[in-house]
Amino acid sequence: MGNLKPFITSEDARSQAEFYLQSLGGEIASISTHGDLMGAQNEFKDKVMHMCVLVAGGNAIFMADAIEPFTPGTGISLALELPTETEASEAFAKLAVGGNVKYPIGLQPFGLFFGELTDKFGIHWMITAAPKW
């Protein structure tokens, strides 16, 4: 069984997270930039690549700064964390049927088994599993 979490892409993830914390209570559990996770030394180095915000009694919302143009309000994705690479690969393959793969699933430089796609209904998915070392 996996864990499903909303993932919000934002023009300013830090400010948006602060708004949610003031509105709903909670805390920022973690925050990493493109410089932290990927070693970026360009205009994206200080942008949020991944933030976990715990709100309203511990509900997790993942967030990131947009690095590609997008329309505010459309930056919502579903992040599905599965227990094994096999389960993640199978779910990814099934969701990809009739859809569009943005990043094929595989081990990423930031240490996570990850793939990204838009399903045939236009829903954006990020499928993950922790690698087994």
Summarize the chain as % helix, strand, coil (round to 5).
20, 45, 35
Domains, in order of start, for the chain: 3-129 (3.10.180.10)
Inform me whether the pLDDT recorded for 100 exceeds 70: yes
CA distances to 26, 82, 87 from 96, rounded to whole Å, are 34, 16, 14
Q: Write out pLDDT tens, residues 20-79.
A: 999 888 999 999 999 998 888 999 999 999 999 998 888 899 999 999 887 877 778 888
User: How large is the greatest C-alpha to C-alpha distance in the chain, in angstroms?
Assistant: 40
Q: Write out pLDDT tens, residues 103-121.
A: 999 998 888 999 999 998 7
Q: Does the pTM of the predicted model rise above 0.75?
A: no
Predicted local confidence at residue 28, as pLDDT? 97
